Amino acid sequence: MNDSPKPLEIVHDEKQHTFSTVVDGYTCEIDYQLDGTTMVITHTGVPDPVGGRGIANLLTRFAVQVAEAKGWKIRPACSYAATWFKRNAEYGHLLA
């Protein structure tokens, strides 16, 4: 039996400005606003029952990679995203 976790399926809803995934029935998400070509990350949310699994990290990394592919800069307006950029300095060139 294979007990390794399956990869997260992250959905980018460009109309609603969200990145989301469902883990054990709980929706985890990042909300952002688009200011020209700057993604302003306004909220990162992972419900407590599925917290501590690195989900916010994976969501943020996915959002950052999408922004980079689109040529956007990023302004981390929520505390989690700001801390994420401090821990992942290799993405500092994307900061607005």
Query: Is the separation of the CB atoms in 78 and 58 below 8 Å?
Result: no
Cα-Cα-Cα-Cα torsion 74, 79, 81, 85, nearest 10 degrees, comes to 90
Task: Tell me the pLDDT tens digit for each residue of 9-68.
Answer: 999 999 999 999 999 999 999 999 999 999 999 999 999 999 999 999 999 999 999 999
Helix (H, G, I), strand (E, B) or coil at 15: coil
Nearest Cα to 9, choosing from 69, 80, 59? 59
Instruction: Determine the pLDDT at residue 1.
Output: 44
Residue 95, both tokens? 């900061």
How far, in Å, CA of 75 to CA of 85, rounded?
10
Q: What is the pLDDT of residues 8-24, one digit of tens each?
A: 899 999 999 999 999 99
| Residue 7: band (very low, low, confident or very high) from pLDDT cuts 50, 70, 90 | confident
pLDDT above 70 (res 6): no
